[in-house]
Amino acid sequence: MTADLNSRVSLLIKESYEYLRRQEDVKYELLRSISSVVKKCRSSVKASYAQDFTASKRILNDVQRDIARLVKTAYREGVWETWPPIVQTYQEFLEAVLVYWFTSGREYRLRVKPPPASILYAVSDFIGELKRVMLEHLRRGRLKEAEETYGIMVQLYENVSTIALGDSVLPGFKRKIDVNRSSVESAFSILNEELRRRAFLTSVEKYFEKLR
């Protein structure tokens, strides 16, 4: 009986090890592919900010094809789209798409269906990206564009902040929302300070004009 139990357990251990070893090899290759996809996403973002929308769109199209192949391979090997690196890949792609939409004002059709979690994470990260864009507008003296960017930040935050889901389905999302709230509040303070500064300078200029 003891020998029979040991034999069965040994078989289970052997099968488990072989499966997990195969998974390790598969995931290693997937991670290499994911690294390449993420780099392309960041190249698309860079092209969008450089106003090279043709290049940005071409890269996004390449990324969609890469993701489709990657996910197909993952499914075939028993790795699901809920695997965090795959969620992160979709998230990076979606953020690049959001930047393209925002900077170009053009439509872009999604041919892949991202996991719901990736969409929410991407929108949350995009709010932080918009704060950086708003600050850049202010640095360049483009107050109107800064106000418009802040308005989009607020709209997106109001959308995602209503999501009330726990870490069991959206790990870390509550913390992301807290960061978003802080970003929106600090952006408001910075923008409001600049508006007051502009108003003060305008009033000073008008005062000295009257003295002339």
Q: How many residues does the chain have?
A: 212
- Residue 57 near residue 41, CB atoms below 8 Å: no
Looking at 2.60.120, 1.25.40, 1.20.58, 1.10.3470, the CATH number of the domain 1-107 comes to 1.20.58
Residue appearing with tokens 């009257």: 210
Q: What is the pLDDT of residue 113?
A: 87
Provide the residue ranges of all domains of the chain, joining segments of one domain with +: 1-107, 115-212
Q: Given this model, what pLDDT does residue 133 score? A: 94
Residue 9: its pLDDT value, please?
A: 87
Measured in degrees and rounded to the nearest 5, phi and psi for residue 112 equal -110, 155
pLDDT at 200: 66
What pTM does this model have? 0.85
How many other C-beta atoms lie within 10 A of the C-beta of residue 118?
21
The two domains 1-107 and 115-212 share their CATH topology (first three levels equal)? yes
Q: How far apart are alpha carbons 84 and 15 in whole angstroms?
A: 25
The third-level CATH classification (topology) of the domain covering 115-212 is Methane Monooxygenase Hydroxylase; Chain G, domain 1 (1.20.58)
- At 189 the three-state DSSP class reads helix
Those residues of the chain that have pLDDT short of 70 are 1, 3, 200-202, 204-212
Instruction: Supply the pLDDT for residue 82.
Output: 81
Whether 70 and 34 have beta carbons less than 8 Å apart is answered as yes
- The tokens of 174 are what? 């509550």
